[in-house]
Amino acid sequence: MQPASAQGYPTRPVHLYVPYPAGGPNDVIARLLGQEMSKSLGQQIVIENRPGGSGNIAIEALGRTAPDGYTIALPAMAYATNPSLFSKVGYSFDQFAPVSIVTKGPLVLVVHPSLGVKSVKELIDLAKSKPGKLDYGSGGNGSSLHLAAEMFKQQAGVDIQHIPYKGTNDLISDLLTGRVPIAFMSPLIAQTHVKDGKLIALGVTSPQRSQSWPDTPTVAEAGVPGYAVEAWYAVIAPKGTPKDVVETLNKEIAKAVQSPVVKEKFAALGNESVGSSVAEAEKYIADEADRWGKVLKAAGIRAD
């Protein structure tokens, strides 16, 4: 069978693999994107949730599909970090063609009020006065919340101890009681608890202040120069997908993420629309894989 080309593409529904369960940020972003792209493509974008393996299962499945543009995936940051995190993963980057960086957004560094700190600098000072005595939580070993904290430890020069949870819901329960007093959280989850005064937001992890959190300083400006972590989501296709099909998908993604309804809903998640070029997506993912590989090696973090 000959590979598809952009001429007449797509002539049938396009399947979009999501590496995480329904209801999470990855799934919400995929559905927003799919709904908008379906309108202009004239074909349905079928969302297929394939959770498991820290995001690896969906990517491995994509690697076994035909490179015809009818099966794509929307991985998150774990796509770039898992090859360094696990001793063995069932995919390699050269199996895939990046299509676009869809959206990016910061995490939020939060603390429980009982910790008695109200700024990043105060947290750093407290941690340095009690090396190894303060705990931070994450949604799991190797999660974006864990990696953001490890980079913070390295760049701020503090020794805080990791408490991994089985998921964000378990983490939140202990964070709200102060059992674990420090965490990096998604803006969507942190927002309500910060507004209610149950948590204090010390900083956002993006290079610039977030439009959704304009009064919260970046971690970099608040005490850790050069610190930057963004949760990102990209569309990838199997390697060998015809260039014109990749370009068609890239243009449709760019159009979709700039639509007012998608921009507004991304903002509600704490994210900003990107819609990068293919070349920008390739470079960004390669840079992220390299950067986080160094962080993981320096911290001695493995997931298995």
For residue 167, what pLDDT band results from cuts at 50, 70 and 90?
A: confident
Tell me, rounded to whole angstroms, the distance of Cα 115 from its chain centroid.
28
**What pLDDT sits at residue 87?**
87
Q: Which structure tokens are listed for 154?
A: 């390295």
- Please give the average per-residue pLDDT across 187-203, as a whole number: 95
Say if CB 211 and CB 203 are below 8 A apart. Answer: no
pLDDT in tens, 168-189: 888 999 999 999 999 999 998 8
Q: What is the arithmetic mean of pLDDT over 103-129?
A: 97
Whole-angstrom Cα distance, residue 21 to residue 48? 10
Looking up tokens 């000072």, which residue turns up?
125
pLDDT band at 6; cut points 50, 70, 90: low
* Separation of alpha carbons 147 and 283, rounded Å: 20
Q: What is the reported pLDDT for 166?
A: 84
Residue whose pair of structure tokens reads 């001429």 in the numeric block: 7
Alpha helices in 196-277 (DSSP H): 243-257, 260-268
Dihedral over Cα of 160, 162, 168, 172: its sign? negative
- CA–CA distance, 223 with 58 (Å, rounded to integer): 38
CA pair distance 90, 80, nearest whole angstrom: 13
Tell me, what's the pLDDT at 1?
A: 41
pLDDT tens, position by position, 78-104: 999 999 999 889 999 999 999 999 999
Quick: pLDDT tens for 36-48: 999 999 999 999 9
> Looking at residue 68, what is its pLDDT?
97
* pLDDT, position 285: 98
| Mean pLDDT rounded to a whole number for the chain | 94
> Would you say the pTM of this structure is higher than 0.85?
yes
pLDDT of residue 140: 85
pLDDT tens profile 215-238:
999 999 999 999 999 999 999 999
